[in-house]
Amino acid sequence: MRTITLNIDKTLGFISREQVFAREQKVKECITTLHNKTGKGNDFLGWLQLPSSVTEAEINDIQATADHLRAKCEVVVVVGIGGSYLGAKAVIDALSGTFDHLEPNRKDPLVVYAGHNIGEDYLYELSGFLKNKKFGIINISKSGTTTEPALAFRILKKQLEDTVGKAGAKDLIVAVTDKARGALRTLATKEGYKTFVIPDDVGGRFSVLTPVGLLPVAVAGIDIKQLLSGAVDMEKATGTDVTFENNIAAIYAATRNELYKTGKKMEILANFHPKLHYVSEWWKQLYGESEGKENKGIFTASVDFTTDLHSMGQWIQEGERTIFETVISVAQPNHQVEVPKDAEDLDGLNFLLGKRVDFVNKMAELGTQLAHVDGGVPNLRIELPELNAYYLGQLLYFFEKACGISGYILGVNPFDQPGVEAYKKNMFALLNKPGFEAESKAIQARI
């Protein structure tokens, strides 16, 4: 099996290999705690064995539903926020052609998103875009009560029903939610929608390999079996029987925590492949929401290189020395473009004649790594042999596993997000939501 790799050599000098390996016992304990389900948040560990436990029947049901939407829709709107849309967007963006959405004769439905903001202009423009198009909706919410997706769904549901009638809309709406609880479950049952269940023991940001991620990804025409197969292999490669030095999730978790201990409070995930932008967004949520609590946790940020070398590059090179960088690199691009001949060489690029664009990119990567290390930024490097569903499946599971371990090293519950409630409580109070009368009164005195 070819696998994604992790290289921590360029963190050495900031921390030592001995320091990383000194954490071996602690990391082993964390892995055992995860697998034995004896730690904090232990009722949210369903993601651990998810890749190997998903059944053929479940995959076929997801694929059949996706095929139904693919056959009927030009556009499918994925409604969801946070963990209920970022994983799907990460995979779809990484594995779709960059300009496919602009192709008038595209073969796959266009997947667009709603419910991940409260933008009135966004919803107005989306409604306008969907007018006269055959569209369907995948409404995703584990709690089934999140305001952003509920609001967007109400508007889009009305538009769809006004266009194709209630029965027609029912055929084009799929709900992914809790098996019994929440307004979305009630609504889906009442309306008779096709539904998928998000398992009780899988939290939003760990749900990309449930129907939350798999259904939209299948709608986009991506091979979900390959995605799962990569995740299954990474599940094995990071299992309890794998030694510390061979377990890349263990090494990543140990290294980032060691760096954190030495004052490196921020981790910047950098990619050298523009299609990975949303993988970074997904990763930011995964680690930020899992670890940022009890006044602890590495702040997660991300950049797209080389693009952001011309914006954030200065800060990374010479700003406050509290950062480390984790680079995702793809060894082999899927296509070849060579620098063409130009007899006049007015742009002075003939020294690159016949070279692949990727060669230039790789030299930019190497040059950046050396410069940033010289500038005091420890560098971890993750390499994918290629950007395809299989290796992406490996990457997603790798990050999830390392996140669980890392959160336990830090001593927090990586599987809850109590801090997210604070803004909701204030917003509901300000909106005079029934049940928030006391908060409404209290908040009026503060504004």
Chain residues in the site for ligand PA5 (CB under 6 A): 81-84, 141-143, 146, 149, 203-205, 289, 417
Q: To the nearest 10°, the Cα dihedral for 112, 96, 330, 388?
A: 110
* CB nearer to ligand PA5: pick between 144 and 393: 144
> Of the candidates 309, 324, 322, 308, which has an alpha carbon nearest to the alpha carbon of residue 379?
324
**Where would I find the H helices in 146-247?**
147-172, 183-191, 211-219, 224-237
The answer to whether 310 is a known catalytic residue is yes
> Is the Cβ of residue 81 or residue 389 nearer to ligand PA5 in the bound state?
81
Amino acid identity of 315? W
Residue 420 Cβ, how far from ligand PA5 at the closest point, in Å?
Answer: 6
**Which residue, 109 or 414, has its beta carbon nearer to ligand PA5?**
414
Q: Which residue is nearest to ligand PA5 (CB)?
A: 204
Nearest distance in Å: CB 180, ligand PA5: 14
Catalytic residue status for 362 = no
Catalytic-labelled residue, pool 289, 291, 325, 365: 289
Q: Work out how close the CB of 443 gets to ligand PA5 at its nearest, in angstroms, rounded to a whole number.
A: 22
Residue 435: CB atoms within 10 Å:
8
Report the interhelical angle of 211-219 vs 224-237 (nearest 10°). Answer: 140
Of 22 and 118, nearer to ligand PA5 (C-beta) is: 118
Least spacing, CB of residue 289 vs ligand PA5, in Å:
6
- Shortest spacing between CB 98 and ligand PA5, in angstroms: 27
Catalytic choice (107, 190, 310, 341): 310
Q: What is the DSSP string of 225-290?
A: HHHHHHHHHHHHHTSTTS-GGG-HHHHHHHHHHHHHHTT--EEEEEESSGGGHHHHHHHHHHHHHH
State yes or no: is 294 an active-site residue: no
* Of 279, 299, 296, residue with least CA distance to 287: 299
Asked whether the beta carbons of 383 and 4 are under 8 A apart, the reply is yes
Toward ligand PA5, which CB reaches closer, 18 or 421? 421
In this complex, which beta carbon is closest to ligand PA5, that of residue 286 or of residue 323? 286
What is the maximum span of the chain, computed from C-alpha positions, in angstroms? 76
Query: Smallest distance from the beta carbon of 145 to ligand PA5, in angstroms?
Result: 7
* C-beta separation of 170 from 191 below 8 A: yes
Q: Look-up: residue for tokens 């798999």? A: 214
* Beta-bridge partner residues of 12: 15
By annotation, the residues acting in catalysis are 289, 310, 424
